[in-house]
Amino acid sequence: MMVAAAALVQGRRNQLPYVASLVAILVAIIIASVKWQPGERFTAWISYLALLLMFMAIAGRGITGLWSGLLVDKFNRMSLARFQLTLWTVLILGTILAIALGNILGGSEHPLNIKIPEQIWLVLGISTTSLVGSPLLQAPKAEQAPNISQLEMLANQVPNAPTLPDYNGLLIAKSTPSDASWTDLFTGDEIGNFSYLDLAKVQMFFFTLVLVAAYAVAIGHLLYGHSQLTSLPEFDSSMTALLAISHAGYLTSKAIPHSVSPK
């Protein structure tokens, strides 16, 4: 018991620098909110985005030991669903913060009266659905034990490896978070396709990246030079449909089997 107690105390001490860093970032956001002038809303927005990303990176580092720990799922693989939701969350929250505080400092009568376009709510809903739906769709595969043919399929994909990759049911599951790789964002999750590009993932990655970048440019153009704002930029419904299609393909790919034993 003494050893366990000492390990617990040591673990808490190891977390203190990360906790202190997170508190420092929150303080930095508050200080920036007071120091920025209404006309510096664009600069404040960039700062908020950077600080929010730093907060998430430090939180991930404190929990998993990796700066990219926020993106690592329960199978110790980089998750594309986590990646895309992180981008949208940071962009939207940073923008709302910049607009609201700019309105407050500018003396707006209703500084928090900020209209968020309906399409943005749909985008966040679609992104959240992918994050929540992915493990639900894969749960049956994690409970299905691979047969001899499927294990042979796995061995054929890594013929020179001394041991087979770790797996949980039909899903590839790495041993530790440090084994997670950025290639996980683009490769399959199952025994039958983990060493191949998953085109549904590649499509969703690029659709997300392009749409986030385009909307960020629209936000930056709106913030630059404006002292008071009451709305986020409009997000066209065709762009929402494009994003929904890519997420539907991503979730469908998660659901269908990729480790069917050859006849």
Q: Return the pLDDT at 163.
A: 65
Q: Return the pLDDT at 81.
A: 95
Q: Return the pLDDT at 162.
A: 60
Q: For residue 119, how many other CB atoms are within 10 A of its CB?
A: 18
Question: In which element (H, E) is residue 32 found?
Answer: helix 2-35
Counting every residue written for the chain, the total comes to: 263
3-class state of residue 172 by DSSP: strand
Selection from 35, 32, 19 nearest residue 97 by Cα: 32
- Does residue 261 form part of some domain? no
Q: Are strands 167-168 and 171-172 parallel, antiparallel or unpaired?
A: antiparallel
Cα–Cα distance measured from residue 59 to residue 165, given in angstroms and rounded to the nearest whole number:
28
Selection from 123, 121, 120, 132 nearest residue 79 by Cα: 132
Give the up-direction half-sphere exposure of residue 32: CA atoms within 13 A in the CB hemisphere. Answer: 22
- Domain count for the chain, please give it: 1
Question: In which element (H, E) is residue 168 found?
Answer: strand 167-168
3-class state of residue 35 by DSSP: helix
- Does residue 184 form part of some domain? yes
- Does residue 72 form part of some domain? yes
- Does residue 175 form part of some domain? yes
- Does residue 263 form part of some domain? no
Selection from 60, 58, 53 nearest residue 23 by Cα: 58
Q: Return the pLDDT at 13.
A: 47
Angle between helix 118-143 and helix 237-255 axes, rounded to 10 deg: 0
Cα–Cα distance measured from residue 84 to residue 122, given in angstroms and rounded to the nearest whole number:
14
End-to-end CA distance of the chain: 55
Q: Return the pLDDT at 34.
A: 67
- Does residue 180 form part of some domain? yes
Angle between helix 199-223 and helix 41-64 axes, rounded to 10 deg: 140
Q: Return the pLDDT at 93.
A: 92
**Which residue intervals of 65-198 are DSSP H helices?**
80-105, 118-143, 148-157
- Does residue 5 form part of some domain? no
Decide: 78 and 181 in contact? Cβ < 8 Å. yes
Cα–Cα distance measured from residue 46 to residue 212, given in angstroms and rounded to the nearest whole number:
15
Query: Which two three-digit tokens encode residue 219?
Result: 């936000």
Q: Return the pLDDT at 243.
A: 92
Domain that holds residue 191: 12-255
- Does residue 51 form part of some domain? yes
pLDDT in single tens digits along all 263 residues of the chain: 333 333 333 444 477 877 887 788 778 777 766 666 656 778 888 888 998 998 889 888 988 889 999 999 999 999 999 999 999 999 999 999 888 887 877 777 787 888 999 999 999 999 999 999 999 999 999 888 888 888 887 777 776 666 667 888 889 899 899 999 999 999 999 988 888 899 999 999 999 999 999 999 999 988 886 667 888 999 999 999 999 999 999 999 999 988 775 54
